[in-house]
Amino acid sequence: MSHESILSINHIGKSFGGLHILENVNLNVNKGEQIGIIGPNGAGKTTFFNLLTGDLKPSHGGISYHGKDITNAPNYIRARDGIVRTFQKNNLLNELTVLDNLLLVLQRKHGIGKTWHKFRGEKQYPNLYKEATHFLDKWRLSSQKNIIVKSLSYGEQRQIEILLGVATEPEILLLDEPTAGMSQTETDYIVDLLAKLPKELTLMIVEHDLDVVFGLSDRIIVLHDGEILVEGEPDVIKNDKRVNEIYIGSEVEV
């Protein structure tokens, strides 16, 4: 991880009507950092992600990416510029094969054609198919390439979704509860997968499974009541009294 700050979140807040969800969040994200975001249900974690990706606009404050103000940039521009997310639920095209899902992602990444959902032929775009094959080999997905997504298990679908995010070669990948609803074996696979991601990739992960977050993160942000309660290295967070207090009463133990 370098100490080059690439994303700067300044005094950001979000309200829905009179309801203040996020109050005054400040954060600098360094290139290659792996940041875990935790907090009780309703703390504002997904809302925070939505502000970073441009799916929501903040009520106040701003966000800059490589020094450029992106507070009002739409989500597709942020994605094009390197801030990519996966969702809590699968966001794949279920009727298509794994390969076709990947081809569509790669077409979009390379700006091939005006209509991203129209398939380009292998003859015309051999490099696209080469890249897809190479990617599937690299991530040991070759055996699944011709399987229709909806025939895969839920856990497999979520793995594919994360990898499709990786295929876009983002600078920052935001993962919203990557292990939600998974068996222990599927969770282990995801943890393994995340550990193999390129070191220069910046990861921000919202996750309820604290073992996953503590095992993976360089830094943990604890959101509570719409604010950053505390942030720091996993050991610091583990021993923080306030963090333990907000988890008391929930079934989760820090």
Ligand X SMILES: Nc1ncnc2c1ncn2[C@@H]1O[C@H](COP(=O)(O)OP(=O)(O)OP(=O)(O)O)[C@@H](O)[C@H]1O
User: Which parts of this chain interact with ligand X (CB under 6 A)?
Assistant: 16, 19, 21, 39, 41-47
Query: How many whole angstroms separate alpha carbon 137 and alpha carbon 12?
Result: 41
- Which C-beta is closer to ligand X: that of 109 or that of 176? 176
- The tokens for 229 are 């309660």
Closest contact distance (angstroms) between CB of 50 and ligand X is: 7
> Which of residues 33 and 207 has its CB atom nearest to ligand X in the complex?
207
Tokens of 52: 């970073």
Distance CA 53, CA 233 (A): 24
Which of 53, 42, 69, 14 has the alpha carbon at shortest distance from 223? 42
Q: How far is the CB of 152 from ligand X (least distance, A)?
A: 24
Residue 6 vs 63, nearer CB to ligand X? 63
CB nearer to ligand X: pick between 16 and 116: 16
Q: How far is the C-alpha of 23 from the C-alpha of 13, rounded, in Å?
A: 5
Sheet holding 227-232, edge to edge: 83-86, 172-176, 202-206, 34-38, 219-224, 227-232
Query: Among residues 38, 93, 85, 68, which one has the least CA distance to residue 208?
Result: 38
Please state the closest distance from residue 171 (CB atom) to ligand X, in A.
23
Comparison of 39 and 178: residue with beta carbon closer to ligand X: 39
**Nearest distance in Å: CB 122, ligand X:** 41
Q: Is 184 helix (H, G, I), strand (E, B) or coil?
A: helix
Min CB(231)–ligand X separation in Å: 16
